[in-house]
Structure 1
Amino acid sequence: MIDGYRRRLALLVASCYFMENLDGTIVTTAAPKLRAALGVSSTAIGLLISTYLMTFAVVIPVGNWLMSRLGERRLFLSAIALFTLASLLCAASHNLSELVVARSLQGVGAALMVPVGRIVVLANADKTDIMRLVAYIVWPSLLAPAIAPLVGGIIVTFGNWRWLFLPNVPLGAAAWIAGSLMMRPSTRRDPRLGALDWRGMLLTGGGLGGLVYSAFVAGEFTSSWANVVIWLAVSSSALGVAVVYLARRRDPFLDVRVFRVATFRQSLRGIFPFTMVVGSIPLLLPLMFQDRFGWSPIKSGTVVLFVFIGNVVAKPTTTPLLNRWGYRRVLVASTAAVSFTMLVFALFDATTPVALIAVAAFVNGVVRSIGYTGFLTLVYSDVPEHDMAHGTTLAATVQQVATGFAASAGVVALRVGGVVGHDAGLQTQGAYRIAFVLLAVLGAAATLNSLVMPRSAGDALRTLSASTD
């Protein structure tokens, strides 16, 4: 049974997760208006977005080491304060350079805020409670990308681009106050911990940052495929060297040997393509609605809001579904259903009834919520307690890199769709159709990954959770 303190802490971390996801998605969806307001190119705005993601990916792996040195309470509250202050600096920026610096600081705060909070919530938690705790943390974060197009549409229609960053200020201040009053003194601080392994950190950070930058390059319509391949090859090689290096160290700052746990490895292998597919929706759907259907940002955001409604409806059903049918069946069904909704989106055009589009968005929200919760609880199923901090950090790192690839996945699919559609003599809408089909194929990778899981995957969580309900 989850005690009151841990439940309140999980909800606090969930609110921070929501704030972080809302910030990241709202800026992406409002990118065209932001570009016009600043008078810069699309490439410059893309670099602004990728800078945040790169900083996030590079800093995440250091969080566990910093927590051991500073203590979880101090680090978590400092991260909230940094993220909130950086949001205020973003709103006060006068040019792109200032905004890039402020967004980088935001990335540092975000990288330490949610992953550290997740470690604190899950540390020493009973296996009986992990499914519910992760559901508490994850569910609100799924709402942010769904409501961001509407919130961003309202802001850019009736307000100034600076307002995009201001919602974080009261949210962050409230989270900091709640954390200060709620969190107990730190228990994980260890001043005797050795110095940070700078070689391992540079290799890891360089590889992760390079991967996220590769996604940015791939998402630029003007970039060549050769540049994409080069960046992917170099960053993947650096990350491979980092993994080998960390695996051989006796006391690595990030223990990659957690990947030996089968369910941990399988979960992350599935959540990567799954995140890329569902993460492309907040970008690709509003873009299609506004670019091809001629809808306003508010109308577009309102329809995408039905993804949020689907998330809400799915919340009470996810744990019973996992307990009744098991992780393998639920993940196969939910990931396949996500791919199916992508194929349905490919059929839409400007004459499609809005109600039908809203229903498809609703179904997408239901199955994406179930899939996310399944993957993100299964990842902790068999991780030993002494490896939980490293496992949580690695899971957050993989998820963040996948998020970096998500927006680019939609753009790359659209680029390929444009080329194929042009060669086939299709209308411009054909580019979106092909893009959604390609994303459905990518989603099938998550389904195949789930199919090869053993039927017993996650039974530790499932059986124990059922016994305490």
Structure 2
Amino acid sequence: MSDQTCDTPIAGRAVPNFRVIALIVASAMLMENIDATVLATALPTMARDFSVDAPAMSIALTSYLLSLAIFIPASGKMADRYGSRTVFRAAILVFVIGSILCAIAPTLLLLVLARLLQGIGGAMMMPVGRLVLMRSVARKDMVSAMSWLLVPALIGPIVGPPLGGFIVTYLDWRWIFYINVPIGIIGMIFVSIYIEEVKGKASGPFDLVGFILSGISLGSLLFGFELSSHQGQGAFAIFLIALGLLFGIAYLKHARRHPSPIMDFSLMKIPSFGTSVIAGSLTRITQGAQPFLLPLLFQVGFGLSAAAAGQIVISTALGALAMKPLARAVFRRTGFRTSLVINGILGTIGYGLCAAFRPDWPMPLIFIVLVLSAFFMSFQFTAYNTIAYDEIDQERMSAATSFYTTFQQLMLSLGICIGALALHASMAVNGNGEPALEDFSSAFVVVALISITATIWNLRFAPNAGEEISGYRGKVKRVSAGR
């Protein structure tokens, strides 16, 4: 396969079926998403093996987040310089090597170092995987391809905890990392066969100062958001968030002067991209909070076992899967703007209904509500992740994917933070030492109210936004009918 530059028209290339490419990228991301969530279940067992207290094991999670925060912004530049196929394949390899080192780590220190390495691979896999899809799939197939790509992000946090419980109960926790090896090897083989090599044009010197400033800012923010969900860490979390904001301001001042900043905020001036980032960020508050709040509600509020709670929460994965075959037809009929407005309201109301869940509700009814809520939210993120790139030219595609993925990761972590803060604030107001049902209700209402404000931004999309991608021609039909 010959190298190609990003100005080569996508439609002029012979590419394999878009489903093949989407599944290759989705499989790598599913491996990463499951790995990131399955580990939380195994931390107590790992703590015993390493002879440390269970809270000390949280560094195994935060070290991974640190790598993500530092290296996601640099992923676009790497893909432009070395080629999206090369970087994506190398990211999978680094992730697999990091997984092996995690599995054989004899001490907590070595596990943390291995997680840092694994995080570098994960940081490159997310945005470069999306970039591979954007550069390999024709625009008419983008909605269908993106709906496949979204599944790992929705299924991973749901499948991870019960899978982790199964591995810890019946196998050894080290298998959490070993299972990544065959998946990664198969992924690299398929990337080599089916993915074309596409490089971007050089856009100036590497922004080392911006890389450092953004790394400190994003790392501090992600750490702060993560720690805010843990009791007794409030003061340190506030310090980290404040530090992240200060370095973020410093980065913005630096980016205005640099000819090729590591994170290009001028992308926000592009209507479809900027609107999608803002509206998607508000909606992701809910997506980030749900995997944190729902298991707690069912275990603490309902008194269910972890296994029983996991079975209920799997309903969200079923809803996400059910959405895939319908997205393209809906967009073709109603367009992106109308779909985002109506579906966003329905999805937010669905998750807002979680505030009314009580132990005397029939479990099938709760299951149905969660399936429908996940269906609407999965549809919503398919729309955001697709329409964001409608007006992005190929030369800026790598910068756009790394920028978008950075905010996506940040907002998911912020969702956990807001969910936890709302829960603890309600507990303080009600004088509860442990979360009660009314506290969970308050938390669900808070995140739902934040997400519903995305409607304001959804209305700012042009009526014909993304018509080339969706095939929607509603405006043209109305004009023709009036003549």
Is 1:264 equivalent to 2:276 in the alignment?
no
Task: Quote how far apart the aligned CAs of 1:125 are.
Answer: 5.1
Task: Quote how far apart the aligned CAs of 1:35 are.
Answer: 5.3
Q: 2:130 aligns with which of 118, 133, 150?
A: 118
Within a 5 Å distance, the mapping from 1:321-340 to structure 2 comes to: 321-340=330-349
Is 1:102 equivalent to 2:147 in the alignment?
no
Task: Quote how far apart the aligned CAs of 1:126 are.
Answer: 4.4
Is 1:196 equivalent to 2:206 in the alignment?
yes
Is 1:378 equivalent to 2:372 in the alignment?
no
Q: Contact 1:119/1:392 (CA < 8 Å) preserved in 2?
A: yes
What's the TM-score, normalizing by structure 1? 0.89
Q: Contact 1:35/1:42 (CA < 8 Å) preserved in 2?
A: yes
Q: Contact 1:64/1:389 (CA < 8 Å) preserved in 2?
A: yes
Question: Which residue of the partner structure matches residue 363 of structure 1?
Answer: 372
Q: Secondary structure at the match of 1:252?
A: coil
Task: Quote how far apart the aligned CAs of 1:412 are.
Answer: 2.3
Within a 5 Å distance, the mapping from 1:416-455 to structure 2 comes to: 416-422=425-431, 428-455=436-463
Q: Contact 2:357/2:366 (CA < 8 Å) preserved in 1?
A: yes
The 1:234–1:5 alpha-carbon spacing in structure 2 relative to 1, beyond 3 Å, is: same
Q: Secondary structure at the match of 1:161?
A: coil
Question: Which residue of the partner structure matches residue 166 of structure 1?
Answer: 178
Is 1:391 equivalent to 2:410 in the alignment?
no
Q: 1:47 aligns with which of 54, 59, 74?
A: 59
Within a 5 Å distance, the mapping from 1:50-449 to structure 2 comes to: 50-123=62-135, 126-184=138-196, 186-188=197-199, 195-224=205-234, 227-422=236-431, 428-449=436-457
Q: Secondary structure at the match of 2:72?
A: helix
Q: Contact 2:216/2:247 (CA < 8 Å) preserved in 1?
A: yes
Counterparts of 1:189 and 1:420, CA distance in 2: 54
Q: Percent identical across equivalent pairs?
A: 29
Aligned length: 463
Task: Quote how far apart the aligned CAs of 1:391 are.
Answer: 0.9
Task: Quote how far apart the aligned CAs of 1:283 are.
Answer: 2.5
Counterparts of 2:218 and 2:298, CA distance in 1: 33
Counterparts of 2:207 and 2:126, CA distance in 1: 23
Counterparts of 1:413 and 1:37, CA distance in 2: 35
Task: Quote how far apart the aligned CAs of 1:261 are.
Answer: 0.2
Question: Which residue of the partner structure matches residue 22 of structure 1?
Answer: 34
Task: Quote how far apart the aligned CAs of 1:41 are.
Answer: 4.8
Counterparts of 1:452 and 1:465, CA distance in 2: 19
Task: Quote how far apart the aligned CAs of 1:215 are.
Answer: 0.6
Counterparts of 1:272 and 1:412, CA distance in 2: 18
Counterparts of 2:203 and 2:469, CA distance in 1: 33
Q: Contact 1:87/1:168 (CA < 8 Å) preserved in 2?
A: yes
Q: Deviations over 1:29-57 (max 9, x none)?
A: 55566556656456434333222122112
Task: Quote how far apart the aligned CAs of 1:5 are.
Answer: 5.7
Look up the equivalent residue of 1:188 and give its one-letter code: K
The 1:32–1:445 alpha-carbon spacing in structure 2 relative to 1, beyond 3 Å, is: farther
The 1:354–1:104 alpha-carbon spacing in structure 2 relative to 1, beyond 3 Å, is: same
Task: Quote how far apart the aligned CAs of 1:4 are.
Answer: 1.6
The 1:343–1:230 alpha-carbon spacing in structure 2 relative to 1, beyond 3 Å, is: same
Q: Can you give the 5+ residue segments of structure 2 that lack an aligned partner in the other structure?
A: 1-10, 475-483
The 1:259–1:54 alpha-carbon spacing in structure 2 relative to 1, beyond 3 Å, is: same
Q: Contact 2:15/2:137 (CA < 8 Å) preserved in 1?
A: no
The 1:120–1:160 alpha-carbon spacing in structure 2 relative to 1, beyond 3 Å, is: same
Task: Quote how far apart the aligned CAs of 1:266 are.
Answer: 0.9
Q: Can you give the 5+ residue segments of structure 1 that lack an aligned partner in the other structure?
A: none
Q: Contact 2:103/2:178 (CA < 8 Å) preserved in 1?
A: yes
The 1:173–1:440 alpha-carbon spacing in structure 2 relative to 1, beyond 3 Å, is: same
Look up the equivalent residue of 1:200 and give its one-letter code: G
Task: Kindly report the root-mean-square deviation, in angstroms, between the aligned alpha carbons of the 2 structures.
Answer: 2.8
Q: Deviations over 1:54-103 (max 9, x none)?
A: 21121011112222333333322221111112112222233332222221
Task: Quote how far apart the aligned CAs of 1:218 are.
Answer: 1.9
Q: Which 10-residue stretch deviates more, 34-43 or 289-298? A: 34-43
